[in-house]
Amino acid sequence: MYETRLALRSSKRFCGDACRQAYWRSRQQLRAWGIPEQPVCHLGRFEDYAHDYAGRLDVIITDPPYSRRYLPLYTALGQFALTALKPGGWLLCVTGWGTDFEVRTSWNAAGLEFVTEEFYRMPEQPGDGTRPTSVGVLLWKQYEKPILWYQKPGTRGDRRRGVTRDRITEPVISTPEMNQKQRRWEQSVSAFRQIVRKWTVPSDLICDPMMGWGTTPVACVSENRPRCIGIEVRPERYAYACQQLGLTPAQAAD
């Protein structure tokens, strides 16, 4: 499957010589670090890989669970970003409306710089969310979710270019690309391809430290961003992501 998606990569086009030279400098640096030009998947806690990629990641794209009981996970993600991102690197995180204030407060205090907040409109899925309150239970469905856009502090020379579009919308497709009944919290590859296309360039080293079922690395490969790192703590999700990328577990960590 990975070879099929790799075949989608077309000849590279650049805006000018400066862009072309920057791409090849970045590619040579990644080769010097021993990072292959293909997806790499790790099984385990993302915190354990922070120093392996310290100062090497260009962009983090991830979709953690949204419940308040997972707020410590967001705190750990902020520390991971501060360690693993290059100066000026970006953290793009889909989160829930019920936790976005706490997440932003935590990341602001840690020293990450808030850029803006955009929205991801996911396909409708059956089922209600529930939240206990002081006077009962609140039922709700979250279809438009915030995408928090943060960056690691850097100098003027570390700045990246980005384009705001306000909303990422899942296109209407005949065959569903996600099945949250069988694979909880799975997201749409088509929508994440838009995120990858919007916030990254082909030379970037991209990481999803909570890759789940592998949506982010699959989207990266489909958008000619072959250098992507996926980390997942749950073995069944890790195995499925490796399958989607055409990797065996042994190859995934090479």
CATH of 37-252, one of 3.40.50.1000, 3.40.50.150, 3.40.630.40, 2.40.480.10: 3.40.50.150
- What mean pLDDT is predicted for residues 64-72? 89
pLDDT tens per residue, range 96-117: 888 889 999 999 999 999 999 8
User: What percent of the chain is helix, strand and coil (3-state, nearest 5)?
Assistant: 35, 25, 40
Q: What is the pTM of this model?
A: 0.79
Confidence (pLDDT) at 191: 84
Average pLDDT for the chain: 80
Closest C-alpha to 210, from 191, 227, 234, 192: 234
How many Å apart are CA 90 and CA 161, to the nearest integer? 10
Sorting pLDDT into bands at 50, 70 and 90, what band is 2?
very low
Asked whether the predicted pLDDT for residue 9 surpasses 70, the reply is no
